[in-house]
Amino acid sequence: MSHIDRALLRLHVEAVWGVRLPRIVQNDIEVLPGGVQPSWKLLVAEVANGRLHIWRSDAIDRDRKALLMRANEAIVLLSTESSAPGISREVALHLAAQPVLDIARAQEIARPLTSRDHSLLESFQRDLGEFYLHAEKRPLIGVISDGRLVSLAHSSRRTPEACELGVDTLPEARRRGYALAVTVMWTRMVLQEGLIPLYSALADNKASLALAAAAGYRVFAYIATLEG
């Protein structure tokens, strides 16, 4: 397991679940106590050259033994369409290649959104205009078509080190390259802040994974979380 994969995994888990982790130097670690604890008791991550277990700090020995027995099932499920109760599967990606759409073209399609676009945001998702305009949701990138906001990228999770992408496109505006344009612009602006852009998707969300690949993101971890 490479040092880079371990560092990216820590950033991803801290951003998505709002937890704090120690530096990952072993294959079994615990969420740091005293702060937010995740809903899951065990997170299993399959990365280059190894598998890593992250435990909720209150997981007792008896629970751990049972969860480890289910961990192999969880990882096997990552390559299938099936699911199982109490197991969630996702893929974590980082920027590792050039997007198929260059930034100049992306800027012709999409633009940054500000407080002046409050009404557009409200129309896009009712009563969420103020939510998207919070500082932690920046950068906020949108595509406007016929006076309507039809595609939106924002920081769904933000830490002092990284941002996780959130992106949504209205059903009638999909397959036009809008989601790719906002993703490319969002990525560029996160990098300009000196932060690491991260992307994650449910393991069976083929459309989201295809968007990630087109935007230059590559998989660094296959993840399964197991509830107690």
Q: Which residues of 65-88 are buried (b: 16+ CB within 10 A; e: fewer)?
A: eebeebbeebbebbeeeeeeeebb
- Do 64 and 15 lie in a common domain? yes
Rounded Cα gap, residues 144 and 148, in angstroms: 5
- Do 78 and 145 lie in a common domain? no
Domain count within the chain: 2
Q: Is the peptide bond before 139 cis (omega within 30 degrees of 0)?
A: yes
Rounded Cα gap, residues 168 and 149, in angstroms: 11
Which domain-ending residue is among 48, 74, 94?
A: 94
- Do 82 and 115 lie in a common domain? no
- Do 138 and 86 lie in a common domain? no
Look up the domain containing 79 and give its range: 3-94
- Do 58 and 131 lie in a common domain? no
- Is 224 domain-assigned? no
Nearest to 91 by CA among 1, 209, 187, 195: 209
- Is 213 domain-assigned? no
Helices (H), 125-177: 129-132
- Is 223 domain-assigned? no
- Do 87 and 9 lie in a common domain? yes
Residue 35 carries which DSSP code? S
- Is 80 domain-assigned? yes
Nearest to 129 by CA among 139, 138, 137, 121: 121
For residue 204, give every residue at least 6 positions away whose Cβ sits within 8 Å of its Cβ, in sequence order, or none: 81, 89
- Do 9 and 72 lie in a common domain? yes
- Do 61 and 12 lie in a common domain? yes
pLDDT in tens, the chain (228 residues): 478 899 999 999 999 999 999 999 899 999 999 888 999 999 999 998 789 999 999 888 888 888 888 877 777 655 555 556 778 899 999 999 999 999 999 999 999 999 999 999 999 987 778 899 999 999 999 999 999 999 999 999 999 999 999 999 999 999 999 999 999 999 999 999 999 999 999 999 999 999 999 999 999 999 999 986
pTM of the complete model beyond 0.85: yes
- Is 209 domain-assigned? no
- Indicate which CATH number applies to the domain containing 188: 3.40.630.30
- Do 53 and 9 lie in a common domain? yes
Which domain-ending residue is among 94, 115, 146?
A: 94
- Is 157 domain-assigned? yes
pLDDT of 1 reads 46
